[in-house]
Structure 1
Amino acid sequence: MIIIPARLASTRFANKILADIGGIPMFIKTAKLASKCDEVAIACDDEAIAQIATKFGIKAIMTSKEHNSGTDRINEAAKKLNLNSDDIVINLQADEPFFEEKNLIKFKDFTTQRIKDGAFMTSCLKFTSYEEAKNPNLVKVITDKDDYAIYFSRSLIPYPRSRCDLYKAHIGIYGYSVDTLARFCSLTTKELENIEKLEQLRALSSGKNIAMLEINSSSIGIDTIEDLQAAANKFGFTSTLLR
């Protein structure tokens, strides 16, 4: 199942999940994409968001406003949906309305296999340029020889003391079983997570492994109004926020 966390508050882009993408709220466009691949639910913290989801025929689960991360919100939704402990849950961020259907299917299959093989959770990466990697809103990841994540950061990693032209950019999608999702949310190692504001660091700090899938993707995650403009230029849609 794909669960999309849809928190209304956002520090960098106010109410960004409602951003107009060609006449459709961003989180709805993301959900419609996801619904081509699996059953979808929106995990939200505001009744207005639930009403919009229902209007578009998307299942909405109300969750607490007190959650500090999207994964904690998804865990509550999974419990309310009475999913089995070995069911696979895909956490697709509401700000990824252009994540390709083929890559979502590929990631679901990857997660199913890697969780079965013993991975704690999964995520995605793609290669990006040095110039793009300098943007702190673009999270970088380094991996080991078996494609497990070593660290995620908003800073440049590795630091280019010598020439480094390509970086691994993290894509905001995660996979777990219902069981490992619950175990993630019980972890208390939040020091690095709180510093970088990257929830996946909670797992790494506890010695849990994150299997990374490399994909080719032209998707743009919408973190800022500048990202929205870049996406509009690239994918050719209009938005009332850009007029």
Structure 2
Amino acid sequence: MNNICIIPARMGSSRFPGKPLFKINGKELVKHVYDNCIKSTIFQKVVIATPDKEIIDFCNHINADSILTSNEHKRASDRCHEAILNLEKQRSFYNICTMVQGDEPMVKHNVIDKITYSLIKDKNILCANGYGQIREEELTNKNCIKVLKDKNSNAIYMSRSPIPWEPIVNKNVGKQICVIPFQTHFLKTYSNLEPTPLEINESIDMLRVIENGKDVKMVSVDGYFHPVDILGDVKVVENLIQNNSN
């Protein structure tokens, strides 16, 4: 079985322009993510997918594989799909494609492996998503994607708003960790579907899956993870990384 890890990254983030190359504790954000991913033993390839020559040049500088993609994608999953198609043109084929968002510097390789293994162990799972601890102050933070899951650990809904009405008392509510493995054949299906109303409204990739009646298996992971969505997250993440390394 061949598996690939793809890190989508772009300089044109509306909330934090240029963040992939912004330094976190002296190291570029996207390199934190890349360094975590290459420690995994389950991927035959780790590649950064980006529409930006600046990031391509940085990848060349650190000897990281990269693929130049279109600047038209609204969803990171669609960027990964384009990267897969480009690789297949080169006769490189993969069973599982794990997307690790380029703004998740705290997610270590063991967490990425645990989430990906859910698809390796059960080929009937089309896609999965990391699911972690949420703090009370994050419930009203629109940058934090809240997840409500059912008794079978499949996502019921994801939102940037608090869900349900009093989510802090519901043990089935947590936050999305942006590690998303797809069976590659399903990633192709996903990307060929039309964007859905809730996906567009919430700007959340996985709602396209849910709105089309497919399951997103939520895989719970231990620990607390904080992505870099805005400039204000930098100091928070720097302190968390520093404390975790002590």
Instruction: Give the alignment's TM-score, normalised by structure 2.
Output: 0.89
User: Displacement of 1:132 after TM fit?
Assistant: 2.4
Distance (Å, rounded) in 2 between the aligned partners of 1:56 and 1:47? 14
1:184 equivalenced with 2:190 (yes/no):
yes
Residue segments in structure 1 that go unaligned for 5+ positions in a row: 238-243
Distance (Å, rounded) in 2 between the aligned partners of 1:217 and 1:26? 20
Partner of 2:134, secondary structure, is strand
Contact 1:187 1:203 in 2 (8 A): no
Q: 2:14 — aligned with what?
A: 11
Moved >6 Å (runs of 4+): none
Aligned residues: 233
1:220 equivalenced with 2:226 (yes/no):
yes
Equivalent residue for 2:127, pick from 121, 124, 127:
121
Distance (Å, rounded) in 2 between the aligned partners of 1:97 and 1:131? 21
In the superposition, relative to structure 1, how do residues 6 and 144 fare at CA in structure 2: closer, same or farther (>3 Å)?
Answer: same
Most deviating of 123-132 and 60-69? 123-132
Contact 1:130 1:164 in 2 (8 A): no
1:59 equivalenced with 2:65 (yes/no):
yes
Q: 2:48 — aligned with what?
A: 42
In the superposition, relative to structure 1, how do residues 43 and 50 fare at CA in structure 2: closer, same or farther (>3 Å)?
Answer: same
- Residue 105 of structure 1 aligns with an amino acid whose one-letter code is D
Equivalent residue for 1:96, pick from 95, 99, 104:
104
Distance (Å, rounded) in 2 between the aligned partners of 1:34 and 1:209? 25
Contact 2:130 2:176 in 1 (8 A): yes
Partner of 2:226, secondary structure, is coil
User: Displacement of 1:220 after TM fit?
Assistant: 1.5
Identity of aligned residues (%): 28
Distance (Å, rounded) in 1 between the aligned partners of 2:218 and 2:158? 12
Contact 1:140 1:155 in 2 (8 A): yes
Contact 1:126 1:168 in 2 (8 A): yes
Partner of 1:11, secondary structure, is coil
Could you give the per-residue CA deviations for residues 156-200 of structure 1, whole angstroms, max 9, x where no partner exists? 111119x72753111111111211000000111421111111111
- Residue 133 of structure 2 aligns with an amino acid whose one-letter code is F
Equivalent residue for 1:108, pick from 116, 139, 157:
116
Could you give the per-residue CA deviations for residues 105-156 of structure 1, whole angstroms, max 9, x where no partner exists? 2112122223x0x222110111223332221111111111110101000111
Contact 2:133 2:223 in 1 (8 A): no
Equivalent residue for 1:170, pick from 176, 181, 193:
176
Could you give the per-residue CA deviations for residues 48-86 of structure 1, whole angstroms, max 9, x where no partner exists? 1111011101001011111111111100101111243x6
Q: 1:27 — aligned with what?
A: 30
Distance (Å, rounded) in 2 between the aligned partners of 1:91 and 1:189? 18
Distance (Å, rounded) in 1 between the aligned partners of 2:224 and 2:135? 13
After superposition, the CA RMSD in angstroms is 1.7
